[in-house]
Amino acid sequence: MTNLEELGIDWAKITRETGRLVMLKALAEQTNGTLDSSMIEMILPIFAIRKDRAWIHEQLEYLAERDAVTVTSAGTVRIATLTKRGRRHLDRDIILEGVKRPSEPGE
């Protein structure tokens, strides 16, 4: 049996890129395009991504640096809001580096 590490697969990178896409999609599903990090923390395990809130905050900062979301601090949570640029990535109009590309409609 082949060790997955020997295949040269960067699972941490795949997890980050997938997690960022999941976050954008979750925001897009909200009427106001907004969720707090505690809600995102409950959504990610549905996609087999089990990370702590600090990791989620890092990913939200990454997305904010690329103008895909805006982030506001509220105590120990961060509130993320989807931007037009984040929506354009989800619509496949642009590509945000470090964020998994959404599937084609119907895939």
Q: Quote the strand ranges of 1-107, DSSP E.
A: 34-36, 69-74, 77-82
Q: Is the pTM of this model over 0.85?
A: yes
Beta-bridged to residue 74, according to DSSP, are 77
Q: Which two tokens stand for residue 64?
A: 């904010």
Report pLDDT for 30. Answer: 97
Which residues of the chain, if any, have pLDDT below 50?
A: 1
C-alpha angle 35-80-21 in degrees, rounded to nearest 5: 85
**What domains are there in the chain, each with its CATH number?**
10-90 (1.10.10.10)
